[in-house]
Amino acid sequence: MIVTPHSGTMIDAGHDVSDGPKAGPLNGTTEGGKNMTRPAVVADDWVRCFRPEPSAKVQLVCFPHAGGSASFFHPVARALPGTVETLALQYPGRQDRRAEPCVDDIAALADLVVEALAPRLDRPFAFFGHSMGATLAFEVTRRLEQRRLGGPLTLFASGRRAPSRKRPERVHLLDDDGLVGEIRRLSGTEAELLADEELLRMILPAVRSDYRAIETYTYRPGPPLNCPVLVLTGDDDPLTTIEEARAWSEHTAGEFDLKVFPGGHFYLAAQQAAVLRTITDRLGPHL
């Protein structure tokens, strides 16, 4: 959300801290019904709260982009009012979860996120997802609604075309140089980080896995979401046209709104104040 030299890069090799009680082991099936036994889902591994707000009225759950990490949203926790508690997801295969295998399938990732989030959602909540995170937030919302576990006050979908709008993309099949070139093209990471060979070797597996997850994702038709959807996009985003962003309206039976900002895929770097204002304005009646 807010881009800083250490927390706002597209790829982030730092370390995070977590909080809160541990969740027990959970097993289940994928959305497609295939039986599978999963490792224990521990809430602390998946959900980070950088500034606990026990009296907050609303929780904002943030879903990082491909190659991103929970720390991307650390400044959001500082910038939002105390009536909002910010939770950020930490996907496997990065930062302090580097030793864990990445999850390169959106449906499987959504199943795991639901189980990790469920014990933490103890008050009204909203979702904010950027790029791949927007699609993942959509799939998590579908699962919550299907299980009658409630849904977000608003799904904020940033920098991503509607789930039903697919493009032929093969970035995850490129060699390392090609993958780094795509990262540079999207302007989400400082050049000096991309020049660090040791760092690149550390983070490229997670970046490639995330790209594989989002590029092989296929929307499965189903009922529209019940919650409102507010889409945020840059007017010069090479990955999402305004028409593709507007197509999110087909995926909700609730209120739909589209906010267009100057900028590209990481428009929120320069538009951080406006983005935060958009979030707080929408959540205002609940705070």
By annotation, the residues acting in catalysis are: 131
CA distance 54 to 23: 19
CA distance 107 to 213: 9
Asked if 222 contacts 131 with a C-beta cutoff of 8 angstroms, the reply is no
Backbone angles phi, psi at 204, to 5 degrees: -60, -35
- Helix (H), strand (E), coil (C) string for 194-241: HCCHHHHHHHHHHHHHHHHHHHCCCCCCCCCECCCEEEEEECCCCCCC
Stretch (H or E) spanning 47 = strand 47-48
Half-sphere CA count of 47, side-chain side, radius 13 A: 25
